[in-house]
Structure 1
Amino acid sequence: MTQSNPAVWPTLQAHDAPALIDYLVEVFGFVVGARYGDGDRVDHAQLNWPEGTGGLMMGSYKPGTDWCREPGSAGAYIVTADVDALYARVQDHNADITRPLGSTDYGSREFAVRDPEGNLWSFGTYAGEPRQS
């Protein structure tokens, strides 16, 4: 099955979803694909990664609902073609860098950041191993 749209969407919730959306757009470069809700409430937001078909979905923290997750407990790895430029951008925004840019033993250049809600974001050049038929 060939698919042109992403089929895997990491999801997270935030205490201050509008502020986190602004942060992810300004600091990391995500692009808002959709946003629904009124005022400070975000019922659903789609943030697209500009370098490919991936993205994430997020919304405001809603305790007691069947799809509730504790804000600040998510983690994601995002592939970027220009990790050096993204690292410079993150540094320019004084982001909370938890692992500085460096090379790994599996051939990637990566760094990690904690967002204002506490989620961990790792950015690197490792695009995964080729799929086996």
Structure 2
Amino acid sequence: MTDEAPPPQVWPSVPARDALGLIQFLVTAFGFEETAVYATNDRVEHAELAWPLGGGIMLGSAKDDPDDAWSRQPGTFGAYVVTDDPDALYARAVGAGAKVLRELADTDYGSRDFIVADPEGNRWSFGTYRGAPRKASTLSG
């Protein structure tokens, strides 16, 4: 798919109890690519994982600091991620231990998708739906 859109500049951020374990799971189960991990011992201050079709996520170890404006509970993240081969990805995710929340199926809007949870409890929906086309004016501004 060719697109005139700029590179992604929205980075979902995922807090984790076991950030190093979650990184390994996301790489093994879903195929994210580890691009940066800044850690001291078991604590991940910052990590970036790229999605092969574009975009990515940032993640790090959860903080128990009530004064931290960016602090969130682990296991509360959810994302929809586009894939060209949902059947193969479903088999890979299930084989790596992802908890199936909704089986692989065709939707009434033309997507083929499924929903799973990672070991932290985050929800991941993978499918072929690429979103509504962008308006021309949003591409040039």
Equivalent of residue 15 in structure 1, options 14, 17, 21: 17
Aligned-residue CA RMSD in angstroms?
1.3
1:85 and 2:88 matched: yes
Show structure 1 runs of 4+ deviating over 6 A.
none
Partner of 2:57: 56
SS of 2:125's equivalent in the other structure is strand
Looking at structure 2, the residues matched to 63 and 56 of structure 1 have their Cα atoms a distance apart, in angstroms, of 21
Looking at structure 1, the residues matched to 54 and 104 of structure 2 have their Cα atoms a distance apart, in angstroms, of 24
Partner of 1:68: 71
Aligned residues: 131
Partner of 1:102: 105
Partner of 2:125: 122
SS of 2:44's equivalent in the other structure is coil
The code of the aligned residue for 2:57 comes to: L
Partner of 2:41: 39
8 A contact 2:48–2:58 mirrored in 1: yes
The code of the aligned residue for 1:105 comes to: D
Structure 1: give runs of 5+ residues left out of the alignment: none
Q: Deviations over 1:1-25 (max 9, x none)?
A: 952x321111110011000001001
8 A contact 2:29–2:97 mirrored in 1: no
Identity %: 54
Looking at structure 2, the residues matched to 39 and 75 of structure 1 have their Cα atoms a distance apart, in angstroms, of 27
Equivalent of residue 26 in structure 1, options 18, 28, 31: 28
Looking at structure 1, the residues matched to 44 and 64 of structure 2 have their Cα atoms a distance apart, in angstroms, of 14
Structure 2: give runs of 5+ residues left out of the alignment: 137-141
Report which of the two structures shows the higher radius of gyration computed on alpha carbons.
2
Q: Measure how far apart 1:94 and its partner are.
A: 3.1
SS of 1:37's equivalent in the other structure is strand
TM-score, normalised by the number of residues in structure 2: 0.88
SS of 1:85's equivalent in the other structure is helix
Q: Measure how far apart 1:91 and its partner are.
A: 2.2
Looking at structure 2, the residues matched to 71 and 35 of structure 1 have their Cα atoms a distance apart, in angstroms, of 18
The code of the aligned residue for 1:25 comes to: V
